[in-house]
Amino acid sequence: MIYLDNAATSWPKPAGVAEAVVRALREPLGNPGRTHHRAALDAASMVAACREDLAELFHAPNPLRICFTANTTDALHLAIKGALRPGDHAICSAMEHNSVWRPLKALAEMGVELSVAEAGQTGFVHPENVRRLLRPNTRLVVMQHASNVTGTIQAIQEIGAIVRAHGALFLVDAAQSAGSLPIDVVSMSIDLLAFPGHKGLLGPQGTGGLYVGEGVELQLVREGGTGSESLNAEQPSFYPDRLESGTLNVPGIAGLDASVTYLLARGVSSVRKHETGLTVQLLRGLARIPGVTLYGPAVDTPRAAVVSFNLEGWECTALAEELERRAGIASRPGIHCAGLAHRTLGTAAIGTVRLSPGPFTSPEEIETALAVVEAIAREPRDLCPR
């Protein structure tokens, strides 16, 4: 298999990740925070180590403000529904994933005012498009760091400064950037950072997290057992307990800690350099193939390792199946859970084929994928499924 679907979930994982998960299941590893036998304390130490590593990766001053979640959507819900009340105003971009768009639309039905910052044809949102939408009651600005459709990287630092100056909260969806692009929650003025554990962070599925900045208070979306202040009917006021009700995914976090340890040793900049090289190779190669339409930023503009395209005469789903049939190429066709973004790009009716290389993709694999697309493109059109 040539795995080019890292934007959905990364594969392969670094050495040590699977072993850490297996070890967490095979060896005694208890429920952290619930009791004090050795297995439970060992689990707590491992979870604490992962919190510290994530804080280091995102330059978060306090590891206790990293809360584990099941995935990015879970984290975004805690943040969006925790921050907004009826009468508040929220801003998102026209490139958002449904994990942001749907909860915001649901809140709009309950009295939250919602504005959408326009994006250009490449998916880029000019910071001024955010600034001009700010209102006195703007409570939250939500912005994708990098598009899961086009790889477009938003001007997070500039937008963060605008939002901070206004006094609103800035929530960044790092689904396509955590582990792949440098993130500094302090210099980027990020109040809330939602991230997956299983994409750029290279950990297991079912892991993710939410960074909550100092002084940021969220309404609760759920309450429950935390292993702390058990005599109180109210949820603890301190983090991460405030948001971490119920048993954590300890085997998943064990795998995540192994993958983040790998990333810290390799360096995000090294991953970024590798993925940029592959993305440029892919973009240049696809641009040379007759009938290919590319979406998103120009080849010389920085983007995340996400490339969307269509091939004339081919439906995106049929093309994805053909790529897998001919060379075992794993891609993702369709709307990518991002109807808003596809409407912005003008591809809502046709979708796109998305190729997303990862830290372990080789240039040879990209060459093979390009050769297969080219071979398909050069075949007589009447043989192709429409």
Which is closer to other proteins, CB of 8 or CB of 49?
49
Please give the Cα distance from 294 to 97 (Å, whole number): 20
CB of 40 to other proteins, least distance (A): 8
CB of 78 to other proteins, least distance (A): 16
CB of 236 to other proteins, least distance (A): 7
- Nearest one of 252, 273, 260 to 179, comparing CA atoms: 260
Bridge-based pairing state of the strands 307-311 and 352-355: antiparallel
Q: Which residues bind other proteins (CB under 8 A)?
A: 32-36, 41, 44-45, 47-49, 51-52, 62-64, 214, 226-232, 236, 238, 240-241, 244
- Which amino acid, one-letter code, is at 274? H
CB of 252 to other proteins, least distance (A): 17
Contact of 337 with 98, CB cutoff 8 Å: yes
CB of 41 to other proteins, least distance (A): 6
Please give the Cα distance from 318 to 303 (Å, whole number): 26
- Which amino acid, one-letter code, is at 70? A
Which is closer to other proteins, CB of 33 or CB of 359?
33
Where do we find the tokens 């689904």?
A: 175
Which is closer to other proteins, CB of 35 or CB of 219?
35
Which is closer to other proteins, CB of 18 or CB of 64?
64
CB of 175 to other proteins, least distance (A): 25
Bridge-based pairing state of the strands 89-93 and 192-196: unpaired
- Percent composition of the chain: helix, strand, coil (DSSP 3-state, to 5): 40, 15, 45
Which is closer to other proteins, CB of 88 or CB of 191?
191
Q: Which residues pair with 192 in a beta bridge?
A: 171, 212
CB of 357 to other proteins, least distance (A): 35
Which is closer to other proteins, CB of 229 or CB of 379?
229
Show the beta-strand stretches assigned E in the chain: 2-3, 66-69, 89-93, 113-117, 138-144, 169-173, 192-196, 208-212, 292-295, 307-311, 329-330, 332-334, 352-355
Q: Which residues pair with 20 in a beta bridge?
A: none
CA distances in angstroms from 128 to 89, 125, 228, 253, 276, listed in the order given: 17, 8, 45, 39, 27
Where do we find the tokens 């004339």?
A: 312
Which is closer to other proteins, CB of 223 or CB of 238?
238
Please give the Cα distance from 284 to 286 (Å, whole number): 6
Which is closer to other proteins, CB of 151 or CB of 213?
213
CB of 63 to other proteins, least distance (A): 6
